[in-house]
Amino acid sequence: MDAHDMQDDLAQVLITEEEISRRLDEMAAQIDADHEGQQLLLVGVLKGAVYVMADLSRRLRSSIQMDWMAVSSYGSGTKSSGVVRILKDLDADLTGRHVLIVEDIIDSGLTLSWLLGNLSSRGAASVEIATLLRKPEALKVEVDVAYVGFDIPTEFVVGYGLDYAEQYRNLPFIGLLKPEVYEN
C-alpha cells in the first residue's frame, strides 16, 4: 500500500519510509551506546508500537528481551481521554531490569506519564522512553523522553502503526489524514 492508494484519505505524506528508516538507525545506535553492557527489556505498547518495536529491535546490537502491554485511553476517538485502562499486562517481572518503553506517538503525554509511573513502581532499575513521534504542542504533562524520532505538528496522523478506527496502520510512512475522514 502506498500514498497513491490512499490519496482520497490523505492530505500529505509527512514522513517518508526512508526518513523513518534512517532515523530508527540513528536511534538504535544511540540506545546501544547508552546501554552498553546492559540487557534491555523493550516494552511495546500495543497496537500502534508494533512496527516501531519490530524495526527498532532489529537494529539494536544490545542484548534485548521484549514484552508487550496494551493500554487504552482513546477508545474510538482521536483525542486521549486521560483515563488509562490496562488491557494486557506484561508477562515479565521488572525487578532490577532496564526497561525501554517503545511508543509510536506521544500526544498529550497523559497515558505515557501514567505508564512510566506504573512501570517504575514495579522495581525496575531504570525506565526510559523511545518514541517515533512526539507532538510537543499537544503535551498536557511533562514526560522525559530519552529517544525521539520526530517532533510533528498536532494534526491527526496515520501509518506505520498509527490508525484511525483500526485502519491505515499498514502504511509504510506517516501521513496526515484529511479532517473530513475523521470528522464525520
Identify the bridge partners of residue 174 per DSSP, sorted by sequence position: 15
Residue 107 lies in a domain: yes
Residue-wise over 8-30: b if at least 16 C-beta within 10 A, else e?
ebbeebbbeeeebeebbeebbee
Cβ–Cβ under 8 Å, residues 146 and 35 = no
CATH of the domain at 121: 3.40.50.2020
Phi, then psi, of 6 in degrees rounded to 5: -110, 15
Q: Which triple of cell numbers denotes residue 48?
A: 500502534
100 lies in a domain? Answer: yes
Which one is catalytic: 5, 9, 107, 151? Answer: 107
For residue 50, tell me if it sits in a domain.
yes
pLDDT, tens digit, for every residue of 41-57? Answer: 999 999 999 999 999 99
* Overall domain count for the chain: 1
Do 46 and 69 contact (CB within 8 A), yes or no?
yes
Residue 88, preceding bond cis, omega within 30 degrees? Answer: no
pLDDT at 167 (0 to 100): 94
pLDDT bucket at 96, cuts 50 / 70 / 90: very high
Residue 94 pLDDT grade (very low, low, confident, very high; cuts 50, 70, 90): very high
Domain hosting 124: range is 17-155
Kindly state whether residue 184 falls inside one of the protein's structural domains.
Answer: no
128 within some domain: yes
As a whole number, mean pLDDT of residues 89-106 equals: 97
Residue 79 is predicted with a pLDDT of 57
Q: Is residue 182 situated within a structural domain?
A: no
Phi first, then psi, for residue 22 (nearest 5°) are: -60, -45
- Return the minimum-mean-pLDDT range out of 8-12, 27-31, 122-126: 8-12
pLDDT single digits (tens) 111-139: 899 999 999 999 999 999 999 999 999 99
What is the C-alpha separation between 111 and 130, in angstroms, rounded? Answer: 14
- Assess whether 8 carries a catalytic annotation: no
Comparing 63 with 7, the larger pLDDT belongs to 63
**Res. 77: pLDDT tops 90:** no
